[in-house]
Structure 1
């Protein structure tokens, strides 16, 4: 090699276009004198791929990534990411990628940055580019699987994980994520088998024991689920999420020893915020069961405070969405679109507030031989997010106004897209299936337009019972309004406001089930519910607790028992601390079950 390394690299780059074999030879000459030159490794990989040597190209591409770990600029960016200094990392990575768009290590780091900001589409695009440049880059493929999982594209995540597991079949992290994804698409027994295989190889994995407990609980194996949670606690008593998972079974009471262990864990200054707020929620439930009301509320309040600080929730967003929806969905607008959309009647949407009795309604309906229960499906909200045109949270939303620009073919295509995307969740040949995502109330207008023959059921519960039940509940994601009493009241009022409007412009379109009425006269409510769906009454719907279907929500154990009044008026013991909630609910509380709007 003659001249400087920079001149040799430039020559190699030029040779790539005309003579890849000579380019490869030139790159090897550079590496003979500078074996950690990432650019030379990258050029060698591109040259070998152009000559058809895929195996040699893969080695060179991975060599480039390994060499990049010695680059001071990327080390600085990695340190910034590790410290949570995202702006610093971005300031380093953007000019780096502009100067060298083939730097796979930098592309992956930029994808991690996008993922931290929940810009998952951007992260996905970057990771796919990284894999296009270096197909053997396992870390990027693992990241891609995680990003797909977080976008609720579980089937695609499983495909990427299968590729990884073909090369490294005993990788516990990949097996764990695949098992979680299998659970998300209803393949519970396969997920259980995968967890058991992982734990047989690497037993001391408290988080995998916890995940194993989740899926055991989902399929109704409560005793086995509790045992799995307890194994995780034995290994790591400070793991707050597993304590909350145990408390969240609702039918399990934690004892004095558990309370003492959690208290000691909270005194450990080394635990992270995630463990800390989970422990507060679990202690709140344990102390509430022990009728230590004031102490219980103190823990609920602290858990919520910590969780609220860690999320970016803007209460005005939902109010603005409701305002725009009411302005758009007028009788004239809806009348002009009569007969459009996809006419298939398969979906039954159960929507409303979380903790309002929707899981009970789902359990009742899925006990009917014509109706399949799936789970809370994210597809409608993802569609709405796409229609919004937002890339960043700070961007203005074009939703739902953008719906006005959709022609009949597009409305039908969106309905068909929903049916296709949810097909992976259907495990039987029953003609109807349930989508129980509660937040779909905000998209009831969109649902009507793209699926005009779908059934819509609004699960409603007394404002104080419902909102306080949410305040006591820690949700893994997606319910940012539940961590502040004022936010909760405003959200509930906005929900009632939009559903009242839908009742006015689409009379009879939504069937409402009041939780208290379902408890007081179950058979009458069930018959009315089945009439709305359009199926004949079946006595099995009154024996819903005998249904052994999998249930993933927080009410999983409660719906495996006959209807009872245990959840009614639980807020009353906590009334001295609920003034902010009462104030923000305003006339919605005073007029319940009627609407003040």
Structure 2
């Protein structure tokens, strides 16, 4: 881990106002640096910053002094200063690979992805020349964080040559291959990993999702044996049951599949601290704050770019629309960046620092939407090769449709909807690891889905005509017609081609649906949930009580 992240965890500590101890003035620089790190650990951030400034003035070419000073600036939230000092440390060290990785990590946190990509590749070259496989591996992971899994694969392979078959490295390589569609290679690497770590449930699950399992080619017995032998880590145990459920479903063993799914979900839910009422309260607060009158009164941003937001519940067809748009050749995908949510949170926090009596949703009304829109574009455009028209396919951005309209007035918002029971079942049977915590309990899933429906109905009410609804069922039955409608909405030229065919080449889809999206468009998932109608009865009843029709 970068020390930057450890410093960041301490940023919320209160800095004291005590002056720097006089004895630090007579110690050697190494001793003073160690004292400075103690200051940071104790929460004396401003004292550490002052010491760092003094040390850099006295020892401007000392690498460890420059690194310490950059850490203090980072802890104080002065990221630009931290970056400058890190760059000076890189130069003073004659291009040390570890320091280049620090710089790349800082650039990623600053959302300067194109710069981070260049520095990470530079660091990988330097580390590879020194035979430092761990550093090459770290650089590859940073390249993936810049939405470039294809570019990361040869770096992971360089690290593999240097380090051998390290389980974590094999998994990271397999994930990158999964995102880029090289499923056979991913399976080979996962099998290698599982030979070394037989209980690695996350590897079992990824292997199960690489393809549709067949009666003559599956891992059901293998997964069952591993589960029976005892898997100690709850997260791995849950993942193993999800893997078993997925493969059993592929083989038509629906009752056994759902039983395994319930076990996996129950184990996973027990590992989480989560309250769905908190998310429902946030949705309700947004609905109350963003009225028709409020939307009309808020000032808008001025950015000319036209990003395309694809929103909705996860597993509702968002990746399929992304694929269809990418296949036209008119637009680049930025994947599923977290930027919008993070920017809404940070800009809202700035308001709360001066108007503490407001709720978060009320404070968001005071955001400088022009600044936020520009901040967003500056970061996310870099994940899409600096294209002016790009796709942000983070489904949960449905929460921020009104804020998108104000921050980015030229943006296009596409909302994917799906049969309610199909939508909920598709979410329930997917292991999202550290996301979508509502997905592991049917009652919580129903509660969240009801909130989502309320939120989207509200956005349509307060900003009519600003969101294009696309039904998953229409998309898979009339792919060409729906693609033309979507392109017209986005103001993009239509290019003749079989959009229902698998994508040509190896575009990356950084999503849980990376395997399914490479199949020809099909309708087999329409009403697929009905085979579990009795098992999902409590969820159906909860939806119907909320006025949501389930046929």
Common fold by TM > 0.5: yes
Structure 1 residues 317, 540: closer, same or farther in 2, change over 3 A? farther
User: Within the alignment, does 1:275 sit opposite 2:233 as a pair?
Assistant: no
1:367 aligns with 2:324: no
Tell me if 1:567 matches 2:525. yes
Q: Work out which of the residue numbers 341, 349, 361 in structure 1 matches 2:309.
A: 349
Q: Residue 337 of structure 2 corresponds to which residue in structure 1? A: 377
Post-superposition offset of 1:491: 1.3
Once the two structures are TM-superposed, the CA of residue 208 in structure 1 deviates from its matched residue by 1.1
Q: Distance in 1 between matches of 2:443 and 2:75?
A: 32
Instruction: Give 1:179 shift.
Output: 1.2
**Corresponding position of 2:7:** none
What is the rounded CA distance, in whole Å, between the counterparts of 2:259 and 2:100 in structure 1? 43
Q: How does 1:176-195 map to 2 (within 5 A)?
A: 176-195=137-156
Q: Of 433, 436, 445, which aligns to 1:476?
A: 433
Deviation of 1:281 after TM superposition, in Å, equals 0.6
**Residue number in structure 1 paired with 2:389:** 432
SS for the counterpart of 2:497 is helix
Query: Residues 49-69 of structure 1, C-alpha deviation per residue, up to 9 Å, x if partnerless?
Result: 7753865x84x999xxxxxxx
User: Which sits farther off after the overlay, 583-592 or 470-479?
Assistant: 583-592
Question: Contact 2:113 / 2:383 at 8 angstroms: preserved in 1?
Answer: no
- Of 163, 176, 181, which aligns to 1:220? 181
1:421 deviates by 0.7
- Structure 1 Cα separation of the partners of residues 297 and 204 of structure 2: 53
Please tell me whether the aligned partners of residues 237 and 261 of structure 1 are also in contact (alpha carbons under 8 angstroms).
Answer: no
Q: 2:22 aligns with which of 10, 14, 35?
A: 14
Q: How many Å apart are 1:357 and its aligned residue?
A: 0.4
Structure-2 change in CA distance of 1:589 and 1:360 (3 Å): farther
For the Cα contact (< 8 Å) 2:147–2:510, is it kept in 1? Answer: no
Report the alpha carbon displacement of residue 566 of structure 1 after superposing the two structures with TM: 1.9
**Per-residue CA distance 1:62-97 (angstroms, 9 max, x = gap):** 9xxxxxxxxxxxxxxxxxxxxxxxxxxxxxxxxxxx
User: Quick one: distance in 2 between partners of 1:152 and 1:349?
Assistant: 18
Looking at structure 2, the residues matched to 381 and 42 of structure 1 have their Cα atoms a distance apart, in angstroms, of 34
Tell me: CA distance 1:282–1:585, structure 2 relative to 1, closer, same or farther (3 Å).
same
Q: Which runs of 5+ in 1 are unaligned?
A: 1-11, 29-37, 63-101, 109-119
Moved more, 138-147 or 523-532: 138-147
1:558 aligns with 2:516: yes
SS at match of 2:390: strand
**Separation of aligned partners in 2, 1:217 and 1:26:** 46
Alpha-carbon distance, 1:404 to partner: 2.4
Q: Distance in 1 between matches of 2:410 and 2:508?
A: 27
Which of 54, 59, 74 lines up with 1:52 in the alignment?
59
- Please give the secondary structure, in 2, of the residue aligned with 1:434: strand
Q: Secondary structure at the match of 2:309?
A: strand
Would the alpha carbon gap of residues 541 and 530 (structure 1) be closer, same or farther in structure 2, given more than 3 Å must change?
Answer: farther
Alignment of 1:529-540 (within 5 A): 529-540=486-497
TM-score, length-normalised on structure 2? 0.79
Out of 278, 281, 291, which is 1:320 matched to? 281
CA distance in 2, matches of 1:39, 1:153: 32
| Other-structure match for 1:542 | 499
> Aligned residue for 1:86?
none
Deviates more, 1:371-380 or 1:355-364: 371-380
Residues 589 and 301 of structure 1: CA distance in aligned 2, closer, same or farther (over 3 Å): farther
Q: Give the one of 434, 448, 451 matched to 2:405.
A: 448
Match of 2:42? none
Residue pair 1:387, 1:400 contacting (<8 A) in 2 also: no
Are the equivalent residues in 2 in contact too, given 1:387–1:402 (CA < 8 A)? no
Contact kept, 8 Å, 1:364 with 1:544, in 2: the verdict is no
Q: Which residue, out of 414, 417, 420, partners 2:378?
A: 420
> Offset at 1:416?
1.0
Contact 1:388–1:398 (Cα < 8 Å) also in 2: no
Counterparts in 2 of 1:39 and 1:330: CA distance versus 1, 3 Å: closer
Measured at CA, do residues 479 and 148 of structure 1 come closer, stay the same or move farther in structure 2, by a change above 3 Å?
A: farther
- Measured in 2, the distance between the counterparts of 1:273 and 1:397 equals 40
Query: Tell me, what secondary structure is at the counterpart of 1:539?
Result: coil
* Cα displacement (A) at 1:154: 6.0
Q: Give the superposition deviation at 1:509.
A: 0.5
- 8 Å Cα contact 1:255-1:286 kept in structure 2: no
Give, in whole Å, the separation in 1 of the partners of 2:37 and 2:532. Answer: 65
Q: Normalising to structure 1: TM-score of the pair?
A: 0.73
Higher-Rg structure is 1
Could you say what secondary structure the match of 2:476 adopts? helix
Alpha-carbon separation, structure 1, partners of 2:543 and 2:107: 37
Gapped runs of 5+ residues in structure 2? 1-19, 40-50
Q: Contact 2:174–2:189 at 8 Å: present in 1 too?
A: yes
CA distance in 2, matches of 1:317, 1:427: 36
C-alpha distance in 2, partners of 1:577/1:320? 28
Contact kept in structure 2, 1:124 and 1:148, CA below 8 Å: no
Q: CA deviation at 1:199?
A: 0.7
Quote the residue 2:259 is aligned against.
298
Aligned residue for 2:413, secondary structure, equals strand
Instruction: Give the aligned length.
Output: 504
1:470-529 CA distance string (max 9 Å, x none): 111111322111111111111111111111111112111100001111122223322221
Distance (whole Å) between structure 2 residues aligned to residue 41 and residue 208 of structure 1: 31
Distance 2:245 2:530 in 1: 16
